[in-house]
Amino acid sequence: MLEARFETPLANCEAATGTYVSLREIGERGMIDLRGSAGDKKFLAAAKAVLEVDLPKQPRTSATWGDIRVFWLSPDQWLITCPRARAQDLSEALSAELAGVHSLAVNVSDMRAIIRLEGEGVREVVMKGTSIDLTHGDYPPGSVRRMRFAEIAALLHVVEDNVIDIYVFRSYAHYAWEFLRKAARKGSEVRVFPKAV
């Protein structure tokens, strides 16, 4: 009998060598899609009771508490990331706490792939696939937004000045990986933004 085995979306991708920023898959994060109204006090209180952190209400921001991160996606949607092993328990705890409140908490850990870019020049590499000006002061560490990246839907998380996570839907993982591998190839530095930040 064959046994089902969990594999991350990019488990079989070609390693990124010869790039001027490092690329790797983050496979150990779980994700929970949380929906509800930012204007509903009961909803906010229930989310905080489980996550121990207030949901961020400012557009394009995130909040961190221990190993939990909450991304603002829209006035009624947040993406929670946590260690993969905790995602199911956490989403069930949210659903239980939110009983009776118009809301939704779903474990979507297998929905997206996360690619981490690290090193001087990450902003430039990402800008090769999007119209966003990441050299602008609008994108300090902690910034989160969805965007059109290399013609596909993606989520951008500026972790640190020179560390960026790109979230893409699982079926696009290989495409995004290959795009980034080529966009980051040594010798393809644009150098238009020598000090990107």
Partner 1 sequence: MIVVTCPVCGIKGDETDFHYGGQAHVRRPATTDPVNITDEEQRDYLFIRHNPKGLHFERWRCDRGCGKWFHAARDTVTLDFKAFYGITELPPVELQQQAKGPWADYFQSRAKAR
The size of the chain, in residues, is 197
DSSP per-residue letters across 149-181: ETTEEEEEEEEETTEEEEEEEGGGHHHHHHHHH
74 binds partner 1 (CB under 8 A): yes
Contact region for partner 1 (CB under 8 A) — 20-28, 85-93, 110-118, 145-153?
Answer: 145-153
Contact region for partner 1 (CB under 8 A) — 17-25, 48-56, 82-90, 144-152?
Answer: 144-152
Alpha carbons 175 and 151: distance in angstroms, whole number: 11
Sheet of 62-65: strands edge to edge?
62-65, 68-74, 77-83, 29-35, 104-107
CA R_g for the chain: 18
Contact region for partner 1 (CB under 8 A) — 48-56, 68-76, 115-123, 179-187?
Answer: 68-76
59 binds partner 1 (CB under 8 A): yes
C-beta of 64: minimal distance to partner 1 in Å?
A: 20
Alpha carbons 61 and 157: distance in angstroms, whole number: 9
C-beta of 186: minimal distance to partner 1 in Å?
A: 29
Q: What character string, x for contact with partner 1 (CB under 8 A) and - otherwise, covers 12-51?
A: ----------------------------------------
Please list the alpha-helical segments (H only) found in the chain. 41-51, 84-97, 122-127, 173-183
Nearer to partner 1, 23 or 155 (CB): 155
Residues in the site for partner 1, rule: CB under 8 A?
Answer: 59-60, 73-75, 77, 131-132, 145-148, 153
